[in-house]
Amino acid sequence: MPFDREFPASTERDISAALEPGEPIHVRLTADLDFDQRFAPVRLAIAHKHVCVAAEARQIMVLPIAGITKASSDELYGSGRLTAETADGERVLAYFTRHLVPEMAAAARAINELIAGRTPVLPTDIDTASCARCGAPLAERGSNCPLCVPRRQILMRLIGLLSPFRYRAMALIVITLFGVVAQMLTPLTYKQIVDRVLTQGHHHELALWAGLMLAAAIASLVFRYAGNTLTSWLSGRVVADLQGRLHVHLSRLRMSYHGRREAGELVGRVMNDSMELLHFLKDGFPYLLVNLLSFITIATILVILNPTLALIVFVPVPLLILGGTWFWGKLIPLRHKRGFRIGRLHSLLGESIRGIKVVKALTQEDRRSREFDQNNDQLFKTTYITDRVFSGFYEFLALVMAVGSVAVWYLGPKGIIASGGRDPSLGDLMAFVAYIAMFYGPLQWFTAVLNWMSSAFAGAERIFNLLDQVPEPDIAADSPEAIAALPSVAGGIEFRGVHFSYERGKEVLKGIDLVVGPGEMLGLVGKSGAGKSTVISLLCRFYEPDLGEILLDGRNLATLPLARYRRHVGIVMQDPFLFRGSVIDNIRYGKPEATFAEVVEAAKAAHCHDFILEKEDGYDTMVGDGGVELSGGERQRLSIARAIVHDPPILILDEATSAVDSDTEKSIQEAIARLVKGRTTIAIAHRLATLRNAHRLVVIDDGRVIEQGTHDELMAKEGGHFARLVRLQTEINKLKTDQIVSIA
Residues interacting with ligand ADP, by CB under 6 A? 259, 502, 508, 526, 528-534
Parallel, antiparallel or unpaired: strands 650-654 and 569-572 = parallel
Q: How far is the CB of 530 from ligand ADP (least distance, A)?
A: 4
Nearer to ligand ADP, 532 or 568 (CB): 532
**Cα(172)–Cα(166) distance, integer angstroms:** 10
Nearer to ligand ADP, 191 or 696 (CB): 696
Q: Is 522 helix (H, G, I), strand (E, B) or coil?
A: strand
Residue 164 CA, distance from chain mean position: 26
**Cα(424)–Cα(308) distance, integer angstroms:** 10
Q: How far is the CB of 382 from ligand ADP (least distance, A)?
A: 31
**Cα(136)–Cα(134) distance, integer angstroms:** 6
**Cα(172)–Cα(281) distance, integer angstroms:** 13
Parallel, antiparallel or unpaired: strands 581-582 and 89-97 = unpaired
Nearer to ligand ADP, 236 or 259 (CB): 259
Q: How far is the CB of 504 from ligand ADP (least distance, A)?
A: 11
Nearer to ligand ADP, 255 or 660 (CB): 255
Q: How far is the CB of 702 from ligand ADP (least distance, A)?
A: 9
For 378, other C-beta atoms within 10 Å of its C-beta total 16
Q: How far is the CB of 682 from ligand ADP (least distance, A)?
A: 12
Sequence-ordered strand ranges (E) for 559-685: 569-572, 581-582, 622-623, 650-654, 680-684
- State phi, psi for 4 to the nearest 5 degrees: -80, 145
**Cα(194)–Cα(189) distance, integer angstroms:** 9
Q: How far is the CB of 3 from ligand ADP (least distance, A)?
A: 19
Q: How far is the CB of 123 from ligand ADP (least distance, A)?
A: 11
Nearer to ligand ADP, 13 or 506 (CB): 506
Nearer to ligand ADP, 231 or 534 (CB): 534
- State phi, psi for 29 to the nearest 5 degrees: -150, 140
Residues 149, 461 contacting (CB under 8 angstroms) = yes
The single-letter DSSP state of residue 271 is I
Nearer to ligand ADP, 530 or 699 (CB): 530
Nearer to ligand ADP, 388 or 506 (CB): 506
Q: How far is the CB of 696 from ligand ADP (least distance, A)?
A: 18
Rg (CA), the chain: 36
Q: How far is the CB of 124 from ligand ADP (least distance, A)?
A: 15
Q: Which residues lie closer than 8 Å to 99 by C-beta, 6 or more apart?
A: 32, 129, 130, 137
Nearer to ligand ADP, 314 or 502 (CB): 502
Q: How far, in Å, are 280, 656, 699 from residue 724 at the CA level?
A: 65, 21, 11
Helices 285-305/274-283 angle, 10° precision: 30
